[in-house]
């Protein structure tokens, strides 16, 4: 599956503002049906996403070594999501994220739209733009609404809009319903065995 196909099939509600860009990046995956583990997103899928989201110029080089660094960020941010969901205050992913941020060399922007942006271009700049979104979302509190789907066969990231932040599924139409059907079948199997 390529990035365009993945985007067309993504029914996960969008996160607000620029956080949607990070969400789209985190929802890249190469899923093998029937297997619980996703493979890291392939090079072309990631490159297409970075270009589509305005993080990387279409003529910028994107080599296997660049891809390895971007996938490192992808893995670290997913690990960070899981550690936050588990209630951990410190995790190893923070160090990996901070190390990747060093290559972006950030600068502050003041004026009508203050912000944090990378001084670097190319892949370092793309990584920096994703990290700036993550950092600002942590500051404004929107990051605490980001979760990884609870389905064992889905690792999509969604923005939990529930008042008490109790959402579990990226989509009730797909993952939520699949979970309900599995639970119903397990209950009925257990009832049949007990009868």
- What are residue 107's DSSP bridge partners? 117
CA distance 115 to 112: 10
Contact assessment for residue 40 and residue 49, using Cβ atoms and an 8 Å cutoff: no
Q: What is the pLDDT of residue 173?
A: 61
pTM of the prediction? 0.83
Contact assessment for residue 29 and residue 49, using Cβ atoms and an 8 Å cutoff: no
CA distance 169 to 160: 9
Neighbouring C-beta atoms of residue 38, cutoff 10 Å: 16
Question: On the CB side of 99, how many CA atoms lie within 13 Å of its CA?
Answer: 11
pLDDT in tens, 126-152: 999 999 999 999 999 999 999 988 887
Confidence band, pLDDT 50/70/90 cuts, at residue 30: low
81 vs 6, residue with greater confidence? 81
CA distance 99 to 106: 13
- What tokens appear for 99 in the block? 């190390």
**How far, in Å, are 9, 104, 178 from residue 150 at the CA level?**
19, 32, 11
Least confident of 81-85, 148-152, 173-177: 173-177
């Amino acid at each position: 599956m390529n990035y365009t196909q993945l985007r067309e099939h993504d029914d996960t509600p969008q996160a607000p503002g620029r956080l949607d860009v990070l969400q789209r990046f985190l929802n890249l995956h190469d899923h093998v049906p029937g297997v619980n583990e996703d493979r890291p997103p392939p090079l072309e899928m990631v490159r297409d996403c970075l270009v589509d989201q305005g993080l990387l110029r279409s003529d910028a080089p994107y080599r296997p070594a660049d891809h390895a660094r971007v996938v490192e960020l992808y893995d670290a941010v997913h690990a960070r999501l899981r550690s936050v969901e588990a209630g951990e205050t410190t995790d190893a992913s923070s160090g990996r994220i901070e190390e990747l941020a060093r290559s972006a060399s950030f600068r502050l922007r003041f004026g009508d739209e203050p912000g944090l942006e990378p001084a670097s271009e190319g892949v370092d700049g793309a990584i920096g733009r994703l990290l700036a979104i993550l950092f600002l979302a942590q500051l404004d509190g929107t990051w605490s609404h980001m979760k990884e789907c609870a389905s064992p066969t889905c690792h999509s990231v969604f923005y939990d809009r529930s008042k008490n932040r109790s959402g579990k599924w990226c989509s009730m139409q797909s993952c939520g319903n699949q979970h309900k059907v599995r639970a119903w079948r397990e209950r009925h199997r257990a009832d049949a065995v007990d009868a």
